[in-house]
Structure 1
Amino acid sequence: MIIVTGAAGFIGSCVVSRLNKEGITDIIAVDVLRENDKWKNLRHLDFVDYLDREQLFDFLEGAANIEAIIHMGACSATTERNAHYLMENNYRYTLKLAQFAMNHGARFIYASSGATYGLGELGYDDDEDNIHRLRPLNMYGYSKQLFDLKARREGWFKNIVGLKFFNVYGPNEYFKGDMASVVFKAFNQIRQTGSVRLFKSHRPDFKDGEQLRDFVYVKDVLEVILFFLQNPDKNGLFNVGSGKARSFLDLVNATFAAMGKKPEIIFFDMPEHLRDRYQYFTEARIEKLRKAGYQKEFASLERGIEDYVRNYLLKDYAHY
């Protein structure tokens, strides 16, 4: 049996779908469903039971034959200000799950975040010996960093896998609100207004729209997760990005192209309260992932966006 947390969310629901494509249906889907529509991400999936997050540990007390826990569940809002909530939801809950998995011989794969790198002033190297030097910019990033640090201090990375996701985009993200990807937001701006709004640059070394991010297609993320699930001897903390930074202009132009439309971009001033906390460059170093044996190529930004737009967004937000 495999437990997937965050199973109604963006990446979690895609994980369950990818497992289903492998013929795996002995899955417990765990999430928190309240007054939103993310339950729709569950409708096409095949799993044996659904549990609320608060029910999971009661279930685990009597569970046997748990092969793996794929822990994608967390508060992913970088704007969340409730530090207590983030500590309990992102740090403490992950800690308890990891301890259960290691005590019961289950595979444990969890979502860390590229947000742990802060402004990137120390680079984007996923070497576990250097993560204590990182300074996340927000409480969300710190809640992820704290568990990474705990795992490093306790020596758990010999037995578990942490995945530092960069800017993930793709199907099933439809219910993320403000935390949805720039691709999703650009698509909807184009459909509604014919244009896309982007922040101006407020640094002389970057032109407007040429701020850089590592955008990674969710289907590539799923292949990485499946690789570690199928290779239990591979453990550690790994970046999961394309390994190639691309500009917001590249992203928007690719979205217009996938929609068969001529680009129309409007630049506007970034709010002042964001300017000293805005990342102008992120790029995952993926040498460690390659050294672990993962050799599949990551989709180019253009290819990923074309697939997302034409096969999902333009088809009434079809699900993966």
Structure 2
Amino acid sequence: MNILITGGAGFIGLNFVYHLLKTTLYNITVIDSLTYASHPKEIRKLTSHSRLRFIKGNIVKEKDIETVMDQEYEAIIHFAAESHVDKSIQNSDKFVQTNIIGTYQLLQQLLKGYVKKMIHISTDEVYGRLNPTDQPFTETSPLSPNNPYSATKASSDLLVRSYYETFQLPLITTRCSNNFGPFQHIEKFIPTIVYNAFYNYKIPVYGDGLQIRDWLFVEDHCKAISLILEKGIYGEIYNIGGGNERRNIDVVKQILKIMGRSESLIKYVEDRKGHDRRYAINSSKLQNELGWNQTSDFNQSLENTIQWYIDYLERTFL
């Protein structure tokens, strides 16, 4: 089985590549433009594997798409996206290009018959914000994005939906809660805390730090996608949540405690524009219909992740 993974040199994509190499016999092609958030050394190291090939390319560019479409694929797992909210607020251009136009280019390949199906990886941020007493988002929750990043992801979700409804293409969308784990870029929340604490730098916390996120360990996410690849129903949306709602400030303090650092490193800063107060995902559809269960303990997974970053920082910067 030939599988195409877009964005396979990025955080979740790279973890999924490792997951497939370990658990399947699939032949994997990775296309990635190797942006600042990718891991070029890691993915090129993997090209020595007999079942993996890497093509540097941008899914926005037709020429690059044509290059990678030199064989028929059983499925595309579409991770490639610009995903940092702060950067989308500063300049949305790359987000519009990659998240919307890039998805459109891939849909065209399904329309031409080069690919048998596609799993479109999206985010819980397309649903907008929850109030403290609201029930977690379900697959039928309305889309209400509140920043340019989530708006471009919602746009790509709607494109996927339209191509399923109009052309009956074999498409599935997944929406996950906040991921954490190895290979996440240092700009993201948990890596930023670990990095700053490692060097005893001040740790910036937006606003009052009481924003709530639902944390999903990346290995559980990969297992869910693998299950959806095998059993998912075309036209469906599957929420993938961690079931670990935590206030941002509590996560900061937990990491500082694990690392033996003082809470005096915490520095409250001006809140992000349009900052969503709470996210939470209801994964019961995925659990009941496909049999997925989260297996990772949040506290242990967080400790493992912290240790991975400490090892990485010691290996890379010391």
Report if TM-score (shorter chain) is over 0.5.
yes
8 Å CA contact retained: 2:121, 2:173: yes
Q: Shift of residue 225 of structure 1?
A: 1.0
Contact 2:201 2:265 in 1 (8 A): no
One-letter amino acid matched to 1:316: Y
Matches within 5 A, 1:18-97: 18-24=19-25, 26-33=27-34, 38-45=39-46, 46=49, 47-53=52-58, 54=61, 55-59=63-67, 61-64=69-72, 66-78=73-85, 79-80=87-88, 81-97=90-106
Which residue in the other structure is 2:6 paired with?
5
Q: Is the 8 A contact 1:171 1:313 kept in 2?
A: yes
Please give the root-mean-square deviation of Cα atoms over the aligned residues, in Å.
3.0
The alignment partner of 1:238 has SS state of: strand
Structure 1 gaps of 5+ residues are: 202-208
Shift of 1:234: 6.4
Q: Distance in 1 between matches of 2:79 and 2:295?
A: 21
Aligned to 1:185: 192
Distance apart, 1:200 and its partner CA: 4.5
1:115 aligns with 2:125: yes
What corresponds to 1:231 in structure 2? 231
Shift of 1:138: 1.5
2:213 is the counterpart of 1:167: no
Q: How high is the sequence identity, in percent, across the aligned residues?
A: 21
* Greater displacement, 118-127 / 89-98: 118-127
What is the TM-score with the length of structure 2 in the denominator?
Answer: 0.82
Deviation sequence 1:26-79 (CA, Å, 0-9, x none): 211101136777312314423124231244421355423x11111111111222
3-state SS of the aligned residue for 2:278?
coil
* Structure 2 residue matching 1:313: 3-state secondary structure: helix
Closer/same/farther in 2, CA of residues 221 and 34 from structure 1, 3 Å limit? closer
Q: What is the deviation of 1:3?
A: 0.7
Secondary structure of 2:254's aligned partner? helix
Instruction: For residue 94 of structure 1, report the CA deviation from its aligned partner.
Output: 0.8
8 Å contact from structure 1 (residues 251, 302) kept in 2 = no
Q: Is residue 228–residue 290 contact of structure 2 (8 Å, CA) maintained in 1?
A: no
Does the CA-based 8 Å contact 1:118-1:136 persist in structure 2?
yes
Kindly state the Cα deviation for residue 294 of structure 1 after the two structures are TM-superposed: 3.2
C-alpha distance 265-21 of structure 1, shift in aligned 2 (>3 A): farther
Question: Deviation per CA, 1:187-229, whole angstroms, max 9, x where unpaired?
Answer: 112111176443452xxxxxxx443111111111111111112
1:120 positional shift: 3.1
In structure 2, relative to structure 1, the CA distance for the partners of 1:112 and 1:300 (3 Å cut) is: same
Q: Counterparts of 1:143-222 in structure 2 under 5 Å?
A: 143-156=152-165, 159-173=170-184, 176-178=185-187, 180=188, 182-193=189-200, 196-201=203-208, 209-222=209-222
What secondary structure does 1:111 align onto?
A: strand
Q: How many residues align?
A: 300
Separation in 2 of the partners of 1:6 and 1:37?
Answer: 8
Structure 1 residue identity aligned to 2:248: F
Deviation at 1:113, TM superposition (A): 1.5
| One-letter identity of the residue aligned with 2:229 | L
CA distance in 2, matches of 1:43, 1:85: 24
The 3 A distance-change label for structure 1 pair 49 and 270 is: closer
Question: What is the DSSP-based 3-state SS (H/G/I as helix, E as strand, rest coil) of the residue aligned with 1:30?
Answer: strand
Are the aligned partners of 2:177 and 2:241 in contact in 1 as well (CA < 8 Å)?
yes
